[in-house]
Amino acid sequence: MSRTDFFSKAGKEEASFPCCMHEGCSEPGRFKAPAEPGRMRDYLWFCLEHVRAYNASWNYHRDMSESEIEADRRRAHFWDRPTWRLGSGPGAKLHEAERQAWEFAGFERARRHQRANEQRRQRHGARSEEEKALNVLGLELHTDFTEIRRRYRELVKRLHPDATGGDKQAEERLKRVTQAYATLKALHA
């Protein structure tokens, strides 16, 4: 592309922009700004100087009450998408088999750890506070704290009332898990 072609093309592009919509301005309106909060896809075209001034004075929530502003912010927080309780919604049934397999693997691992802890207890006698807490989490003795934290978070996600639908047994187990984690955290501090 020759130098002349470049400048003539740039001049044509500039000519294709509408005139700035600010009163008394003859600059090309290269920059768009929303016309009104209710019409976000309708635009006004301004030059750089006037689009900056327009944007500085524009208030999306200008004509809304406090409750309308709060409702709009809540909608925007979730990108105007519907939300569901954890474990429900359109994709919940698709992942049910995967969830069951994951839970089975977790319970199997917990059973293995529990059996190993019981065998160790039979060999060594009385249990310490640390051993009791590790047993609640389904972990072996001498587990490092990063693994303890990972297992705690995994159990909290699985046993949380939102995930279990308010199951009382899961709630009691969650209390025991939380107490065990607090004990281990104090011991490892």
Co-location of 183 and 116 in the same domain:
yes
For residue 39, what are the CA distances in angstroms to 60, 68, 76, 78? Answer: 11, 17, 16, 21
- Global pTM reads 0.37
Co-location of 69 and 123 in the same domain:
no
Co-location of 134 and 166 in the same domain:
yes
DSSP letter (8 states) at residue 128 = P
What gap in Å lies between CA 102 and CA 124, rounded to an integer?
33
Number of domains, the chain:
2
Q: What are phi and psi of 84, to 5 degrees?
A: -135, 160
Co-location of 121 and 156 in the same domain:
yes
Cβ-proximal residues to 174 (8 Å cutoff; 6+ apart), any chain: 155, 156, 159, 160, 161
In this structure, which amino acid lies at residue 106?
A: G
- pLDDT tens-digit profile, the chain (189 residues): 554 554 444 445 555 888 999 899 999 999 988 888 777 788 899 999 999 998 888 888 888 899 988 888 888 877 777 777 776 766 666 566 666 666 667 777 777 877 877 777 666 654 688 888 888 998 888 888 999 999 999 999 988 888 888 888 888 999 999 999 999 999 887
Co-location of 125 and 42 in the same domain:
no
Range(s) of the domain holding residue 49? 3-77
Co-location of 56 and 101 in the same domain:
no
